[in-house]
Amino acid sequence: MLRIENLHASVGDTEILKGLSLELNAGEIHAIMGPNGAGKSTLSYALGGRPGYEITAGSANFDGEDLLELDPHERAAAGIFLGFQYPVEIPGVSNLQFLRESLNSQRKSRGEEPLSGAEFIKLAKEKAGLLKMDMDMLKRAVNVGFSGGEKKRNEMVQMGIIDPKLAILDETDSGLDIDALRVVGSGINAIMRKPDKAVLLITHYQRLLDLVKPDFVHVLANGRIVKTGGPELALQLEEDGYEAVAA
Protein backbone atom coordinates (compact mmCIF):
# COMPACT_ATOMS: atom_id res chain seq x y z
CA MET A 1 0.00 0.00 0.00
CA LEU A 2 2.76 2.47 0.97
CA ARG A 3 6.31 2.09 -0.26
CA ILE A 4 8.90 4.61 0.87
CA GLU A 5 12.37 4.34 -0.62
CA ASN A 6 15.48 6.23 0.41
CA LEU A 7 13.50 9.26 1.52
CA HIS A 8 15.49 12.38 2.32
CA ALA A 9 13.68 15.38 3.76
CA SER A 10 14.87 18.75 5.00
CA VAL A 11 13.38 21.55 7.02
CA GLY A 12 15.16 24.75 6.12
CA ASP A 13 18.83 23.84 5.76
CA THR A 14 18.67 20.87 8.09
CA GLU A 15 18.38 17.40 6.65
CA ILE A 16 16.21 15.35 8.99
CA LEU A 17 15.28 12.21 7.08
CA LYS A 18 18.43 10.65 5.65
CA GLY A 19 17.44 7.78 3.47
CA LEU A 20 14.40 6.25 5.10
CA SER A 21 12.84 3.16 3.54
CA LEU A 22 9.66 1.49 4.69
CA GLU A 23 6.93 -0.67 3.21
CA LEU A 24 3.41 -1.14 4.55
CA ASN A 25 0.94 -3.64 3.14
CA ALA A 26 -2.81 -3.67 3.53
CA GLY A 27 -3.90 -5.29 6.78
CA GLU A 28 -0.71 -4.34 8.62
CA ILE A 29 -0.07 -2.14 11.61
CA HIS A 30 3.44 -0.74 11.89
CA ALA A 31 4.85 1.09 14.88
CA ILE A 32 7.67 3.57 14.59
CA MET A 33 9.55 4.29 17.76
CA GLY A 34 12.63 6.35 18.32
CA PRO A 35 14.31 8.96 20.44
CA ASN A 36 13.36 12.65 20.37
CA GLY A 37 14.67 14.36 17.26
CA ALA A 38 14.98 11.13 15.28
CA GLY A 39 12.63 12.44 12.57
CA LYS A 40 9.35 10.76 13.52
CA SER A 41 7.15 13.84 13.17
CA THR A 42 9.08 14.93 10.08
CA LEU A 43 8.20 11.59 8.49
CA SER A 44 4.48 12.16 9.11
CA TYR A 45 4.60 15.75 7.85
CA ALA A 46 6.64 14.79 4.80
CA LEU A 47 4.08 12.11 3.93
CA GLY A 48 1.26 14.59 4.53
CA GLY A 49 2.89 17.21 2.31
CA ARG A 50 3.27 19.95 4.88
CA PRO A 51 4.73 23.15 3.37
CA GLY A 52 8.30 23.69 4.55
CA TYR A 53 9.17 19.98 4.56
CA GLU A 54 11.21 19.57 1.42
CA ILE A 55 11.82 16.17 -0.09
CA THR A 56 15.32 16.24 -1.53
CA ALA A 57 15.63 12.62 -2.66
CA GLY A 58 13.83 9.30 -2.68
CA SER A 59 10.27 8.28 -3.41
CA ALA A 60 6.98 7.49 -1.75
CA ASN A 61 4.31 5.50 -3.55
CA PHE A 62 0.79 5.04 -2.29
CA ASP A 63 -1.32 2.43 -4.05
CA GLY A 64 0.97 2.78 -7.04
CA GLU A 65 0.62 6.55 -7.19
CA ASP A 66 3.50 8.98 -6.67
CA LEU A 67 2.51 10.47 -3.34
CA LEU A 68 5.05 13.28 -3.49
CA GLU A 69 3.39 14.69 -6.62
CA LEU A 70 0.09 15.25 -4.81
CA ASP A 71 -1.04 18.33 -2.87
CA PRO A 72 -1.93 17.75 0.79
CA HIS A 73 -5.69 17.70 0.17
CA GLU A 74 -5.21 15.26 -2.72
CA ARG A 75 -3.23 12.93 -0.43
CA ALA A 76 -6.18 13.01 1.97
CA ALA A 77 -8.60 12.21 -0.85
CA ALA A 78 -6.33 9.36 -1.97
CA GLY A 79 -6.96 7.80 1.46
CA ILE A 80 -4.25 9.03 3.80
CA PHE A 81 -5.20 10.35 7.22
CA LEU A 82 -2.70 12.28 9.33
CA GLY A 83 -3.36 12.21 13.05
CA PHE A 84 -1.65 15.29 14.49
CA GLN A 85 0.54 15.31 17.56
CA TYR A 86 -0.76 18.82 18.22
CA PRO A 87 -4.21 19.15 16.64
CA VAL A 88 -4.83 22.72 15.48
CA GLU A 89 -7.57 25.00 16.78
CA ILE A 90 -9.81 26.64 14.19
CA PRO A 91 -11.86 29.38 15.87
CA GLY A 92 -15.38 29.91 14.60
CA VAL A 93 -15.51 26.77 12.42
CA SER A 94 -17.62 23.99 13.91
CA ASN A 95 -16.29 20.44 13.92
CA LEU A 96 -19.38 19.22 12.13
CA GLN A 97 -19.18 21.77 9.34
CA PHE A 98 -15.44 21.23 8.97
CA LEU A 99 -15.75 17.46 8.78
CA ARG A 100 -18.74 17.43 6.51
CA GLU A 101 -17.06 19.77 4.04
CA SER A 102 -13.81 17.81 4.29
CA LEU A 103 -15.48 14.46 3.75
CA ASN A 104 -17.61 15.73 0.91
CA SER A 105 -14.68 17.30 -0.92
CA GLN A 106 -12.83 14.00 -0.61
CA ARG A 107 -15.88 12.18 -1.97
CA LYS A 108 -16.25 14.68 -4.78
CA SER A 109 -12.66 14.24 -5.89
CA ARG A 110 -13.20 10.45 -5.94
CA GLY A 111 -16.34 10.88 -8.03
CA GLU A 112 -18.69 9.86 -5.20
CA GLU A 113 -21.95 11.54 -4.23
CA PRO A 114 -21.77 13.95 -1.28
CA LEU A 115 -23.41 12.89 1.99
CA SER A 116 -26.57 14.76 2.90
CA GLY A 117 -26.80 16.61 6.21
CA ALA A 118 -28.86 13.81 7.77
CA GLU A 119 -26.57 11.03 6.52
CA PHE A 120 -23.56 12.91 7.82
CA ILE A 121 -25.04 13.51 11.29
CA LYS A 122 -25.85 9.81 11.56
CA LEU A 123 -22.27 8.91 10.67
CA ALA A 124 -20.82 11.50 13.05
CA LYS A 125 -23.01 10.26 15.92
CA GLU A 126 -21.90 6.70 15.35
CA LYS A 127 -18.18 7.57 15.34
CA ALA A 128 -18.46 9.97 18.29
CA GLY A 129 -20.18 7.16 20.19
CA LEU A 130 -17.37 4.78 19.33
CA LEU A 131 -14.86 7.20 20.87
CA LYS A 132 -17.22 8.06 23.75
CA MET A 133 -17.27 11.69 22.73
CA ASP A 134 -20.24 13.93 23.42
CA MET A 135 -22.00 15.16 20.24
CA ASP A 136 -22.03 18.65 21.78
CA MET A 137 -18.26 18.74 21.38
CA LEU A 138 -18.67 18.14 17.67
CA LYS A 139 -20.91 21.18 17.45
CA ARG A 140 -18.19 23.37 18.97
CA ALA A 141 -15.39 25.07 17.07
CA VAL A 142 -12.62 22.68 15.98
CA ASN A 143 -10.41 21.91 19.02
CA VAL A 144 -11.06 25.33 20.57
CA GLY A 145 -11.09 25.01 24.36
CA PHE A 146 -10.51 21.24 24.14
CA SER A 147 -8.11 19.64 26.61
CA GLY A 148 -5.09 17.80 25.21
CA GLY A 149 -6.87 14.48 25.63
CA GLU A 150 -10.07 15.75 24.02
CA LYS A 151 -8.13 16.96 21.01
CA LYS A 152 -6.61 13.50 20.51
CA ARG A 153 -9.99 11.85 20.91
CA ASN A 154 -11.38 14.31 18.38
CA GLU A 155 -8.63 13.25 15.94
CA MET A 156 -9.87 9.69 16.23
CA VAL A 157 -13.51 10.73 15.72
CA GLN A 158 -12.36 12.52 12.57
CA MET A 159 -10.52 9.40 11.45
CA GLY A 160 -13.67 7.35 11.99
CA ILE A 161 -15.78 9.75 9.95
CA ILE A 162 -13.26 10.05 7.14
CA ASP A 163 -12.55 6.31 7.09
CA PRO A 164 -9.10 6.40 5.43
CA LYS A 165 -7.11 3.55 3.90
CA LEU A 166 -3.91 4.51 5.68
CA ALA A 167 -3.67 6.32 9.01
CA ILE A 168 -0.40 7.92 10.06
CA LEU A 169 -0.83 8.66 13.75
CA ASP A 170 1.78 10.94 15.25
CA GLU A 171 1.96 10.41 19.02
CA THR A 172 -1.77 10.02 19.30
CA ASP A 173 -1.17 8.53 22.76
CA SER A 174 0.63 11.54 24.23
CA GLY A 175 -1.47 13.59 26.63
CA LEU A 176 -3.99 10.82 27.24
CA ASP A 177 -4.88 9.45 30.66
CA ILE A 178 -5.20 5.68 31.07
CA ASP A 179 -8.96 5.55 30.42
CA ALA A 180 -8.76 7.82 27.39
CA LEU A 181 -5.85 5.76 26.05
CA ARG A 182 -8.00 2.63 26.26
CA VAL A 183 -10.85 4.36 24.38
CA VAL A 184 -8.49 5.65 21.70
CA GLY A 185 -6.78 2.26 21.39
CA SER A 186 -10.02 0.40 20.86
CA GLY A 187 -11.12 3.18 18.46
CA ILE A 188 -8.04 2.62 16.32
CA ASN A 189 -8.70 -1.13 16.30
CA ALA A 190 -12.37 -0.71 15.42
CA ILE A 191 -11.75 1.78 12.63
CA MET A 192 -8.47 0.64 11.12
CA ARG A 193 -7.86 -3.04 11.97
CA LYS A 194 -9.23 -4.28 8.64
CA PRO A 195 -7.76 -6.29 5.78
CA ASP A 196 -7.87 -3.34 3.37
CA LYS A 197 -6.37 -0.76 5.73
CA ALA A 198 -3.01 0.00 7.27
CA VAL A 199 -1.71 2.06 10.17
CA LEU A 200 1.61 3.74 10.86
CA LEU A 201 1.73 4.39 14.59
CA ILE A 202 4.35 6.83 15.77
CA THR A 203 4.80 6.49 19.50
CA HIS A 204 7.23 6.69 22.39
CA TYR A 205 5.50 4.22 24.61
CA GLN A 206 4.74 0.56 24.86
CA ARG A 207 1.39 1.27 26.50
CA LEU A 208 -0.46 2.09 23.25
CA LEU A 209 1.09 -0.98 21.61
CA ASP A 210 -0.44 -3.19 24.31
CA LEU A 211 -3.82 -2.00 23.05
CA VAL A 212 -3.08 -1.76 19.33
CA LYS A 213 -0.84 -4.74 18.58
CA PRO A 214 1.62 -3.90 15.83
CA ASP A 215 2.69 -6.44 13.24
CA PHE A 216 6.03 -4.68 12.83
CA VAL A 217 8.06 -2.36 15.00
CA HIS A 218 10.69 -0.07 13.51
CA VAL A 219 13.31 1.96 15.31
CA LEU A 220 13.92 5.35 13.73
CA ALA A 221 17.17 7.01 14.69
CA ASN A 222 19.03 9.85 13.03
CA GLY A 223 16.67 9.96 10.05
CA ARG A 224 16.79 6.26 9.14
CA ILE A 225 15.14 3.00 10.13
CA VAL A 226 17.93 1.28 12.01
CA LYS A 227 16.11 -1.82 13.18
CA THR A 228 12.91 -3.68 12.35
CA GLY A 229 11.29 -6.48 14.27
CA GLY A 230 8.03 -7.84 15.63
CA PRO A 231 6.11 -6.63 18.70
CA GLU A 232 8.87 -8.04 20.93
CA LEU A 233 11.19 -5.27 19.70
CA ALA A 234 9.03 -2.67 21.44
CA LEU A 235 9.33 -4.59 24.69
CA GLN A 236 13.07 -4.81 24.28
CA LEU A 237 13.21 -1.03 23.71
CA GLU A 238 11.20 -0.43 26.82
CA GLU A 239 13.66 -2.63 28.76
CA ASP A 240 16.97 -1.53 27.34
CA GLY A 241 16.39 1.95 25.85
CA TYR A 242 16.97 3.22 22.32
CA GLU A 243 20.69 3.61 22.63
CA ALA A 244 21.34 -0.04 23.44
CA VAL A 245 18.93 -1.37 20.79
CA ALA A 246 19.75 1.02 17.99
CA ALA A 247 23.50 0.77 18.41
Looking at 30-38, 72-80, 190-198, 213-221, which segment touches another protein (CB under 8 A)?
Answer: 72-80
**Is residue 42 within the footprint of another protein (CB under 8 A)?**
no
Residue 52 CA to its chain's centroid (Å): 19
Q: What whole-number distance in Å separates Cα of residue 17 and Cα of residue 113?
A: 39
Nearer to another protein, 141 or 190 (CB): 141
231 in Cβ contact with 214 (< 8 Å)? yes
Q: How far is the CB of 105 from another protein (least distance, A)?
A: 5
Parallel, antiparallel or unpaired: strands 2-11 and 14-24: antiparallel
Q: Which of 35, 98, 229, 231 binds another protein (CB under 8 A)?
A: 98
72 in Cβ contact with 49 (< 8 Å)? yes
215 in Cβ contact with 28 (< 8 Å)? yes
**Is residue 162 within the footprint of another protein (CB under 8 A)?**
yes
Parallel, antiparallel or unpaired: strands 90-94 and 141-142: antiparallel
225 in Cβ contact with 40 (< 8 Å)? no
Looking at 86-94, 130-138, 204-212, 237-245, which segment touches another protein (CB under 8 A)?
Answer: 86-94
Q: Which of 26, 55, 68, 93 binds another protein (CB under 8 A)?
A: 93
Q: How big is the site for another protein, counted in residues (CB under 8 A)?
A: 32
**Is residue 123 within the footprint of another protein (CB under 8 A)?**
no
Q: How far is the CB of 68 from another protein (least distance, A)?
A: 15
